[in-house]
Amino acid sequence: MTLLTSPSASIVTLTNVEKHFGPVRALSGVSLSIGPGECVGLVGHNGAGKSTLVNLINGGLVPSAGEVSFPASGATRALEAGVRSVFQELSLCPNLTVAENLRISHDNLRGVGWRKRAHTEIAASLDSIFPGHGIDADTTVDRLTIAERQMVEIAIGFAPRGRDARLVILDEPTSSLDAGIAQQLLTHIRTFCAKGGAVVFISHMIGEIFQVASTIVVMKDGRIVASRPTAEFTRATLVDQMGHVAAETTDAVAQRRAPGEEVLHTGDGLVARKGEVVGLAGLAGHGQAEALAQLYLDRTSAWWGDKVPKVVFVAGDRGRDGILPLWSILRNATVSILSQTARHGLVDRAAEARVAAAWKTRIGIRTDDVRNLILSLSGGNQQKVLFARALASDAPIVIMDDPMRGVDIGTKQDVYAMIQSEAARGRTFLWYSTETEEVCQCDRVFVYRDGQISARLDGADITEDRILEASFQMQEAAA
């Protein structure tokens, strides 16, 4: 797997690096070496291990086994070796100016007049990467657009900061930039590499990878499955290398139901019929979760409660969207159905206890007493309670926001079966999932990219390849 650079000259070398998070193996046996002048295009699915790898290189994580070294500089820490990272999630302080933000990662800017020096340095960096950027280094970051903030982050990443950058890691740097600005960045990366710098470039835009990378590294399931010069890949072989998540997809498709009447049709083109399981696919963070939450909020009211809810929501982000932490399992499970059984506005506690007991058995919540606190359960079991909360209601539409996180395989299969049988009884499911295996069980799939639906797939068209194809930007970035 080692790249064809002499190891002594490489900026960073990883030797048989492994990383475990408890029992979870995030990275296993990865060896990689990046030398001066190289631009590595790093590609792979969500959860393939890209972020873990990047964090091992920049010192954010310590490997469980193996070694990370910086031979060219002889340094022991990534920062001293001139490794910089520019992350997808913007990490600037919004209340500070552009120049002040540079100071945060530049310790040597101190003493009288540091602002002036910071201003000069960041302005020079911005000018060299994004000529004609129009960003004033003295404006506070909260007044910049998302694209401008991303540009500032990139500029800080390439800025000298007292010690020249040797390796800059760019995680999805172009996702919020328009084509022209992205092209400026790609040009800068090529110049930077030509002068002996190195770049790790993570992108879901295949076109950009082919434009800028000298080497492409493909990751899957915590391993590097391919690492070759860019010229040896074609788009097709690259997508092929990333693919293959699950094979058994055809069974679920076999038992098609006759489509019922349309129960949902949104402005951006999301359509669902009675009794259908509709999937939302695409890469994480491309607007699926937001679209579903908005759909739920639009169809329910904060001002009155329906006796039988029109739509229920199964949260994926349990802590933020689902769990009511002070309550018992029982109260958490029944909160959405209180109005259904209430008499004179009072909770029917017997009915409530029956429902909770029934669902404890049906979905297998591991507890000896449903009156225990919800937080006494493991994450997966808490998730089951949230499923029970939604399915116990008679709501005709069930919205699920990537709800299988932390749920074990056995329960997953049970829940899949439950979803299919509930759908057969006329319920409609809207199901966002990051797992292709789950999406392939749906009757119809909408693939999201950049907050919009990029493809609609029906029935037999729902294949992993088609979903992948629609998830990634296949067009050449406009030159």
Q: Which of 85, 81, 109, 84 is nearest to 97 (CA)?
A: 109
Q: What is the DSSP string of 153-169?
A: HHHHHHS-TTS--SEEE
Is residue 312 at the binding interface for another protein, with CB under 8 A as the rule? yes
Q: Using DSSP, state whether 207 is helix, strand or coil.
A: helix
Q: Which amino acid is at 472?
A: F
Is residue 350 at the binding interface for another protein, with CB under 8 A as the rule? no
Is residue 389 at the binding interface for another protein, with CB under 8 A as the rule? yes
Is residue 194 at the binding interface for another protein, with CB under 8 A as the rule? no
Is residue 309 at the binding interface for another protein, with CB under 8 A as the rule? yes
Span of 68-76, 136-144, 250-258, 341-349 interacting with another protein by CB under 8 A: 341-349
Burial of 197 (0-12, 13-18, 19+ CB in 10 A): buried
Is residue 342 at the binding interface for another protein, with CB under 8 A as the rule? yes
Is residue 316 at the binding interface for another protein, with CB under 8 A as the rule? no
Residues 6+ apart with CB under 8 A from 336: 309, 312, 389, 390, 392, 393, 395
Span of 10-18, 238-246, 276-284, 320-328 interacting with another protein by CB under 8 A: 320-328
Is residue 345 at the binding interface for another protein, with CB under 8 A as the rule? yes
Is residue 313 at the binding interface for another protein, with CB under 8 A as the rule? yes
Q: Which is nearer to another protein, 128 or 341 (CB)?
A: 341
Binding test (CB under 8 A) with another protein, winner from 19, 45, 331, 449: 331
HSE, side-chain direction, 13 A CA sphere, residue 334: 26
Q: Which is nearer to another protein, 312 or 457 (CB)?
A: 312
Q: Which is nearer to another protein, 74 or 345 (CB)?
A: 345
CA 181 – CA 168 distance, rounded (Å)? 18
Tokens at residue 244, please? 């293959």
Q: Which is nearer to another protein, 166 or 427 (CB)?
A: 427
Q: Using DSSP, state whether 248 is helix, strand or coil.
A: coil
Binding test (CB under 8 A) with another protein, winner from 305, 364, 379, 459: 305
Span of 65-73, 323-331, 409-417, 418-426 interacting with another protein by CB under 8 A: 323-331
Is residue 379 at the binding interface for another protein, with CB under 8 A as the rule? no
Over its C-alpha atoms, the chain yields an Rg (Å, rounded) of 25
CA 406 – CA 387 distance, rounded (Å)? 13
Q: What per-residue string of b and e applies to 308-320 under the rule 16 or more CB within 10 Å gives b?
A: ebebbbbbbebee
Segment 262 to 301, residues that bind another protein, using CB under 8 A: 293, 296-297, 300-301
What are the beta bridge partners of residue 398? 312, 429
Binding test (CB under 8 A) with another protein, winner from 62, 112, 302, 409: 302
Contact predicate 213/202, CB 8 Å? no
Q: What is the DSSP string of 298-323?
A: HHS-SS---SS-SEEEE-SSIIIII-
Is residue 326 at the binding interface for another protein, with CB under 8 A as the rule? yes
Burial of 339 (0-12, 13-18, 19+ CB in 10 A): middle
Span of 69-77, 144-152, 222-230, 337-345 interacting with another protein by CB under 8 A: 337-345
Binding test (CB under 8 A) with another protein, winner from 339, 367, 372, 452: 339
Binding test (CB under 8 A) with another protein, winner from 175, 322, 365, 429: 322
Is residue 324 at the binding interface for another protein, with CB under 8 A as the rule? yes
Segment 70 to 99, residues that bind another protein, using CB under 8 A: none
CB of 317 to another protein, least distance (A): 9
Binding test (CB under 8 A) with another protein, winner from 335, 353, 373, 418: 335
Q: Which is nearer to another protein, 160 or 379 (CB)?
A: 379
Contact predicate 386/314, CB 8 Å? yes
Is residue 327 at the binding interface for another protein, with CB under 8 A as the rule? yes
HSE, side-chain direction, 13 A CA sphere, residue 375: 5
CB of 390 to another protein, least distance (A): 9
Q: Which residues bind another protein (CB under 8 A)?
A: 293, 296-297, 300-306, 309, 312-313, 315, 320-327, 331, 335-336, 338-339, 342, 345-347, 349, 389, 393
